[in-house]
Amino acid sequence: MIKKLKVEQLQAGMYIDGMDQPWIKTPFLTHHFMLKKASQLEQIKGAGIRYVLIDTEKSIQHAADTPQEKKDTPTQPVEKTPRYGTPYTKEELKRYCAAINQLTQIEKQTLLKGTAIDFPLFLKTDMSIQCIAEYKGKNIEITDNIIHRTGDFLIDKINNDRYKRYLNSILSSNLPIAKAIPLYNIVIRENSKILMQEIIDNPRSGKKIKSCKSLVEQITGSIQQNGQIVSGLLTLNKYDYYTYTHSVNVCVLCLGLAIALGGFAQKDINDLGMGSILHDVGKSQIPAEILNKPRKLSDREFTIMKQHVINGIRILSEEKDFPKNALYPIVEHHERLTGGGYPRGIRSADIHTIGRITSLVDTYDALTTARPYKRALTPFEALTIMERQIENYDRDIFRKFIKMLGSIEQDEK
């Protein structure tokens, strides 16, 4: 049953099914989601929204239970994005880089309450990395105490295979279909992230690069089967930047956008997928102290960082069977239609369509990902900035991208 409520009547646990403002004027990726945090409620009020539609059947908190009628329901605390607020020495940065390079960021949503893991868990907040579940040869049960922690969940790289076995085990368990299907997409994403991490560590592994093809096909198949991107394929809660997570997000969004635009042959879609998931492979050659620096890069460091494009072209040009058109996302994802991009500074007529798609998507995901020196922008804020700089992007592709984002299906967790 759909009910119309004033914003003042909203409570955590209500499922929002619409708002009285157009999607593009609000700071939300979709207008269909469970209200879980006080920060979401503040965003709704701040956007000038007066009324919302509530689906009472999907709500945990019934729409009839207004604040006046049920005062003992506490508002969920605001989750704050971790910030790097303290100075650090070169030695501390070196230790941090060494530690983070031995870890893999995983999705908290895969840690299902009541299941068990056979590897330790770490939590990263700022430059602090602590073990929150130590493995001593006995399986660790996933509890609320673990799940409710805020920050990036990490595991040792050496336990990537154990994590993948855990993912397979929960997929093969008797989950309700409403949970099993979203989880399947999350598993595709997590496997893609791990593969990309392995490629960043060993970029000249032809076998690993060829493995991207099957993952791209799985992502494409899921989008085509659903008729749209499902959020399970994306990492949305990004407390910090990881090259492999960003690479998968860009691939998913590029494939979804190409499918939404239409007119692409399947080979072109596959080439876009391969190129976009590997668009940052050249960062494997960038010093860890620059790649993981928890401050804004200096001009000298940024000059070094820009070399990742040329590095990527060199690496993938060595792969005999790598599709020629799949090189466009690698070489053109930092080019701009005005000619103000790099490495070649080419203009609109010279930028390939799949290069234009990757350039737009890469910018969007970068803006909506937190960095040590800036918070993650909301989709609305990121798109507003990009619209102000629309001369850099293809207008038709940008309009379709906005429409696609508004239709992304939210998975029920």
Q: pLDDT digits over 84-121, tens only?
A: 445 678 888 888 888 999 999 999 889 999 999 999 99
200 with 123, same domain: the answer is: no
Q: Which of 136-150, 217-231, 365-379 has the highest mean pLDDT?
A: 136-150
- 170 in a domain, yes or no? no
- Is the pLDDT at 279 greater than 70? The verdict is yes
CA atoms of 273 and 41, how far apart (whole Å): 36
Mean pLDDT value of segment 168-191: 80
- 172 in a domain, yes or no? no
Give the burial class of 120: count Cβ atoms within 10 A of its Cβ; 0-12 exposed, 13-18 middle, 19 or more buried: middle
296 with 188, same domain: the answer is: yes
182 with 249, same domain: the answer is: yes
CA atoms of 232 and 189, how far apart (whole Å): 8
231 with 335, same domain: the answer is: yes
Amino acid 177: pLDDT: 58
Q: Which amino acid is at 20?
A: D
Q: What is the CATH number of the domain that holds 310?
A: 1.10.3210.10
∠ CA 167-29-235, rounded to 5°? 25
CA atoms of 263 and 247, how far apart (whole Å): 24
Supply 387's token pair: 């619209």
Mean pLDDT value of segment 31-51: 81
33 with 119, same domain: the answer is: no
118 with 263, same domain: the answer is: no
Amino acid 184: pLDDT: 86
Amino acid 180: pLDDT: 66
267 with 401, same domain: the answer is: yes
- 182 in a domain, yes or no? yes
State which of 20, 45, 79 marks the end of a domain. Answer: 79
234 with 357, same domain: the answer is: yes
- 203 in a domain, yes or no? yes
186 with 135, same domain: the answer is: no
Q: Which residues pair with 50 in a beta bridge?
A: none
- 384 in a domain, yes or no? yes
Mean pLDDT value of segment 228-255: 87
67-90 pLDDT tens trace? 443 333 333 333 343 444 456 788
Domain containing 115: what range? 90-159
- 166 in a domain, yes or no? no
Amino acid 23: pLDDT: 56
CA atoms of 402 and 383, how far apart (whole Å): 8
- 348 in a domain, yes or no? yes
State which of 79, 113, 133 marks the end of a domain. Answer: 79
Number of structural domains the chain divides into: 3
2 sits in which H/E element = strand 2-6
CA atoms of 370 and 253, how far apart (whole Å): 18
∠ CA 242-87-373, rounded to 5°? 40
- 259 in a domain, yes or no? yes
240 with 389, same domain: the answer is: yes
- Is the pLDDT at 4 greater than 80? The verdict is yes
229 with 296, same domain: the answer is: yes
| Integer CA distances (angstroms), 234 to 111, 124, 225, 309, 356, in order | 17, 20, 16, 24, 21
State which of 23, 44, 79 marks the end of a domain. Answer: 79
Mean pLDDT value of segment 215-238: 86
Beta strand ranges found along 89-151 (DSSP E): 103-106, 116-117, 121-125, 128-133, 140-141
Mean pLDDT of the chain, nearest integer: 86
259 with 373, same domain: the answer is: yes
3-class secondary structure, 319 = coil
